[in-house]
Amino acid sequence: MKTVLVVGGTSDVGRAVALAYATAGWCVQLAGRDGPGLEREAADIATRTGMAVTTHRIDILDTDAFPAFADTLPALPDTVVSVVGLLGEQARAETDPVHATTVMRSNFEGPALLLGLFAERFLARGHGTLVGVSSVAGERGRASNYVYGAAKAGFTAFLSGLRNRVAKRGLHVVTVKPGFIRTRMTAGMKLPARLTAEPQAVGDAIFRAAETRPRDVIYVKPVWALVMAIIRALPETIFKRTKL
């Protein structure tokens, strides 16, 4: 029986990913900072699916603890999915380097180093799948969220390089670009319906891309591929006058 590790397991997307895998008959390792929250989600998923769900504490900013975290898992998972992310506040990040650092580390350094650690263990075993949830925000820096976007750009580049390195050695690396998602993190924001995905749709898309219809890079809402192609194509002289 296969096992998936979901990092960020108490988030709306993390829960949706865990539920998609458990529904397909996978055992789930649910990881995050919120111990009681993990226990609640694990109990609910186990009740709904009848699959084993274990919980594991991890702080994505405590990178020194990653090896011990991996060592204490009941089994080396077949797939690791990182849905960790922190939107933060752009205006605050512009003047508060501590906040900017937290946003950058939460979206890039922590997830990249954790997936890199599991990549080495998967290479030693000979197979495995790594999934990183990045963002369309990383495709071009925009005034409204460039600190978050810069971190996601780094994460996207890391996943691309890792995929290039391990593709011929039995590992599959998936980059996920969801666009807007209707979650607690975006509560109160006015989101365009055609560009906004529900957590369940993201979870199902990740499972398909990682396990049943392998893909390297996915936009959960395909329309985002066109939107970002247009944004990337704008000359800088025009782009710098936009409000995005």
What residues are labeled active site? Answer: 148
Query: What are the Cα distances from residue 124, in Å, to 61, 63, 77, 79, 166?
Result: 26, 21, 13, 15, 11
Taking the C-alpha atoms of residue 46 and residue 4, their distance in angstroms, rounded to an integer, is 14
Per DSSP, the three-state class of 69 is helix
| 24's tokens | 């397909």
Query: Residue with structure tokens 């925009």?
Result: 142
**Cβ atoms 147, 88 nearer than 8 A:** yes
Taking the C-alpha atoms of residue 58 and residue 122, their distance in angstroms, rounded to an integer, is 20
- Distance in Å from the first CA to the final CA of the chain: 46
List of E strands, 24-135: 27-32, 53-57, 79-82, 128-133
